Amino acid sequence: MFYDAVEVASRDELAALQTEGLRRTVATCLASPFYRRRLGALGVGPEDFNSPLDIRKLPFTTKDDLRVGYPDGFLCQPREDFIRLHVSSGTTGAPTAVFYTANDVAAWANLVARCMHAVGLRRGDVFQNMSGYGLFTGGLGIHYGAERLGCLTVPAGAGNSKRQLKLLRDFKVDGVHIIPSYALHFGQFLRQEGVDPADLGWRFALIGAEPHTERTRRRIEEVLGLKAFNSYGLTEMNGPGVAFECAAQAGMHVWEDAYLAEIVDPQTGAPLPDGETGELVMTTLGRDGMPLLRYRTRDLTRFIPGECACGRTHRRLDRITGRTDDMIIIKGCNIFPMQIEQVLMAMPEVANNYLIELYQENDMDQIRVKVEVRDEVFAAAAPTLAGLHKRMVARLRDEVLVTPAVELVRAGSIPAAEGKAVRVEDHRLLEPA
């Protein structure tokens, strides 16, 4: 019934595992240049950790620390023990890299397999990985997990909907991994092709990589005719497989034998009580090659109080509601893109994609939202469109407290992203100030 007995370990057993993991991890960290310096300055060692709460004796590790340590300042094993690396960003901005030993790759695959099993996938099921491969951890991460679980894995990669559909049919696929924006796009493709999703016989979609609302999930389930399960991961913590929904779809179990998760006040860093929303901070407990202590994910979420119907004892994270750093400030107002998504996805006229553009006009920062609307809406008479436009502007203003420029565009006209969708384009530094 469970992939691993540890999924239903008692809270006391989990605390003991976490303490042991914390000690081992602190000991391992002493081999890296970065942590040797930092822990040395602090005068702490493995013996100082006698409960999971003792993690608070440690300082945070930040994205900037990783950037400074790039490419290899965090390695705790001899160079020749590493077999993989992933890089978290593009050509601009300072990148960060995560390195994996063979043990790390195997342990990661195991966690992903555990997640896929929790969703309902089993050995012998057919699984199509519809996400890009390469440096994006969602590709190889899910792929290795699927093979580990024993699924017949179809490495379809991203894009080419026609071919995806052929593979889904030819191999009677049971489950897929797909990023939310492409899932919505693929749903539209099925409709255009006159395919009834129910005829595909698929049952599960793992969706992650892009934060999304509950409403978007329900919409994906509707257009694809399956159950969609939210997943959480980030390259710094391996990639996918950190936290995953179970069949109850009531929050994502974070695997507490492998990660020690905390929620802190993003301003002060102080721990927050269970149930309160704050910044997620993660510590690896089983990583050999490049363990990280109290890594500030910059993702905002909370622990969901209470027990899950599935019987797993690992605490559940709520879906990510924003990030401490993707906050947009326009005219003195703090805006999270997620707020805009919530407004748009609640409007039935809206199609799948939208784009937030930031620009300058008259020396002021401005926000413009391009919104795809359904074909039948787009084809409607001018007064209908004007009415929709007015309502949309009003609702957005009510939510974010500034009045955005809104442009209604034809469905499909905003390029679908491969990998993580870029929902915000910031032109403020490019245009003349």
Residues at the contact surface with a second copy, assessed by CB under 8 A: 70-71, 79-80, 82-87, 90-91, 95, 97, 99, 102, 105, 123-124, 132-135, 139-140, 143, 146-147, 150-157, 160, 162-163, 166-167, 170-171, 398, 401
User: Would you say 329 or 394 has its CB closer to a second copy?
Assistant: 394
User: Would you say 43 or 383 has its CB closer to a second copy?
Assistant: 383
Which partner from the list Zn ion, a second copy, none does 312 bind, CB cut-off 5 to 8 Å by kind? Zn ion
- Phi and psi torsions of 220, nearest 5°: -60, -45
Sign of the dihedral defined by the CA atoms of residues 29, 31, 32, 37, in that order: positive
Which partner from the list a second copy, Zn ion, none does 141 bind, CB cut-off 5 to 8 Å by kind? none
In Å, what is the CA distance from 406 to each residue of 212, 262, 377, 386, 410? 21, 38, 16, 11, 13
Q: Is 43 exposed, middle or buried (0-12, 13-18, 19+ CB in 10 A)?
A: exposed
User: Would you say 140 or 310 has its CB closer to Zn ion?
Assistant: 310
For 229, half-sphere exposure in the C-beta direction (CA atoms, 13 angstrom radius) is: 26
Residue 248 near Zn ion by CB under 5 A? yes
Which partner from the list Zn ion, a second copy, none does 147 bind, CB cut-off 5 to 8 Å by kind? a second copy
The minimum distance between CB 289 and a second copy, in angstroms, equals 10
The number of residues in the chain equals 433
The minimum distance between CB 88 and a second copy, in angstroms, equals 12
Which partner from the list Zn ion, a second copy, none does 61 bind, CB cut-off 5 to 8 Å by kind? none
Closest residue by Cα to residue 118 from 320, 261, 286, 255:
255
Closest residue by Cα to residue 226 from 161, 169, 176, 179:
176
The minimum distance between CB 154 and a second copy, in angstroms, equals 6
The minimum distance between CB 22 and a second copy, in angstroms, equals 28
**How far apart are alpha carbons 432 and 218 in whole angstroms?**
42
Which partner from the list Zn ion, a second copy, none does 27 bind, CB cut-off 5 to 8 Å by kind? none
Residue 119 near Zn ion by CB under 5 A? no
The structure tokens 């990998």 sit at 419
The minimum distance between CB 13 and Zn ion, in angstroms, equals 17
**How far apart are alpha carbons 78 and 41 in whole angstroms?**
24
Site for Zn ion in 301-340 (CB under 5 A): 308, 310, 312
The minimum distance between CB 210 and a second copy, in angstroms, equals 20
With CB under 5 A as the contact rule, which of the stretches 105-113, 121-129, 244-252, 265-273 interacts with Zn ion? 244-252
The minimum distance between CB 248 and Zn ion, in angstroms, equals 5
**How far apart are alpha carbons 323 and 184 in whole angstroms?**
23
Binding site for Zn ion (CB under 5 A): 246, 248, 308, 310, 312
